[in-house]
Amino acid sequence: MKEIKRIAIFTSGGDAPGMNAAVSAVTRSALASDIEIFGIYHGYQGMIDNDFKKLSFDDVSDIIQDGGTILKTARCMDFMTSEGRLTAYKNLQKNKIDGVIVIGGDGSFKGATVFSQEFDIPFIGIPGTIDNDISGTDYTIGYDTALNTVVDAIDKIKDTANSHGRLFFIEAMGNEAGLLTLESGIASGAEVILIPEILNQEDELDNFIKKRIKNKDSSGIVVVAEGDEMGGAVKIANKVQKDYPHIEARVSILGYIQRGGNPSGKDRLEATRMGVAAFKCLLAGKRNIMIGLKKHDIVEVPFSNTAKAFRPINSELIEIQKILNSY
């Protein structure tokens, strides 16, 4: 095993609140062990463009509360090619990097896996995505902040829904995963929650409208996951408006506000724990693993087990939703 003297860190894929806390934790862990650390800017693209900068204690001071990522992030098509990865390797060598920590989603870990099959540089991953859709971990950095952002947005939309007697269809992010929609829907008291993991929810929606949206004062909140089988919020709202002309249907797509904002206390804490654990793993000679959380404990998950997968949703949450909205 090669001695680790100098490491690099970068963020990749979509940004997520809490990434900065992880960058700070890794950097401070390295400096505390007299290991030099470089930030690679703009994800894998920066590795190819030789966009490396040595990080100091001051560089990561006062960033724990900031959303986004100070290292910037990107999706990089060039890294998908063997020429791109060779250039990236040469730059890692040029900068004398002995190990790398990548904060991102399962795509970023796939990139690291492919790279490690070609070149002998260890990678350790930290899961950072608001979707919380990575296998092998109960938690990904950014999820908790996004949950709070969605709940806050729904609370505000409820004020106008109630004042005008409108039925709102609110679309939350999550790709094919409905967890953010389900948990934010329960936490904000939404009447209907439409997620891809539950099929055939049309009757549930119809039932709610028939029983509860009877007159001009009736209001309601339907939260829709962007990947729901019935289509996004716009499609569903249009259909409902056509089927029930007496109601006032409105749509709100929450969009990118869900990715921003100051990280919650939980995101900062878990990102910090994962950052310290990732550095320890690299120093211990481990490679090709992602740091995860299982039942609140830090775990090490091989990259091969981190692929985005259909994760069954906790049946307790589904039952809760049914109980709360059985009219």
Among all residues, which ones are annotated catalytic?
131
Task: Report phi then psi at 228, rounded to 5.
Answer: -65, 145
HSE-CB at 110 with a 13 A cutoff on CA atoms is: 12
Q: Which of 67, 105, 122, 125 binds ligand ATP (CB under 6 A)?
A: 105
Q: Does 145 bind ligand ATP (CB under 6 A)?
A: no
Q: How far is the CB of 13 from ligand ATP (least distance, A)?
A: 2
Give the three-class secondary structure for 165.
coil
Contact pick of 6, 72, 75, 212 for ligand ATP (by CB under 6 A): 75
Q: What is the DSSP code string of 36-68?
A: EEEEETTHHHHHHHT-EEE--TGGGTT-TT--S
Rounded Cα distance between 246 and 215, Å, is: 8
Per CB under 6 A, the list member of 18, 99, 104, 220 interacting with ligand ATP is 104
Distance CA 176, CA 219 (A): 28
Q: How far is the CB of 47 from ligand ATP (least distance, A)?
A: 9
Indicate whether 106 belongs to the interface with ligand ATP (CB under 6 A): yes
Residue 114 in contact with ligand ATP, rule: CB under 6 A: yes
DSSP output for 65-102: T--S-TT-----GGGGSHHHHHHHHHHHHHTT--EEEE
Is 307 a residue that touches ligand ATP (CB under 6 A)? Answer: no
Contacts of 284 (CB under 8 A, 6+ apart): none
Q: Which of 39, 46, 111, 275 lies at the binding interface for ligand ATP (CB under 6 A)? A: 111
Binding residue (CB under 6 A) for ligand ATP from 20, 129, 184, 218: 129
Nearest-10 crossing angle of helices 82-94, 106-118: 80
For ligand ATP, which residue of 95, 107, 232, 235 counts as binding (CB under 6 A)? 107
Task: Measure CA of the first residue to CA of the last residue in the chain; give whole Å.
Answer: 63
Residue with nearest beta carbon to ligand ATP: 107
Nearest to 49 by CA among 72, 22, 25, 20: 72
Which of the ranges 27-35, 58-66, 74-82, 189-197 carries the binding residues for ligand ATP, by CB under 6 A? 74-82
Question: Which range touches ligand ATP (CB under 6 A), out of 6-14, 55-63, 154-162, 273-281?
Answer: 6-14
Q: How many amino acids of this chain bind ligand ATP (CB under 6 A)?
A: 18
Separation of alpha carbons 40 and 73, rounded Å = 10
Shortest approach of ligand ATP to residue 75 CB, angstroms? Answer: 3
34-53 residues near ligand ATP, rule: CB under 6 A: 44
Applying CB under 6 A, the span of 73-81, 217-225, 236-244, 299-307 interacting with ligand ATP comes to: 73-81
Contact 324/221 with Cβ under 8 angstroms? no
Position among 20, 24, 69, 108 found at the interface with ligand ATP (CB under 6 A): 108
Q: Which stretch binds ligand ATP (CB under 6 A): 9-17, 63-71, 91-99, 205-213?
A: 9-17
Residues 12-31 that bind ligand ATP (CB under 6 A): 12-14
In angstroms, give the least distance from the CB of 78 to ligand ATP: 7
Whole-number Å distance between alpha carbons of 287 and 303: 9
Q: Among 23, 76, 121, 282, which residue interacts with ligand ATP (rule: CB under 6 A)? A: 76
* 271, 22 Cβ separation under 8 angstroms: yes
Using CB under 6 A as the criterion, which residues of the chain lie in contact with ligand ATP when the complex forms?
12-14, 44, 75-76, 79-80, 104-108, 110-111, 114, 129, 131
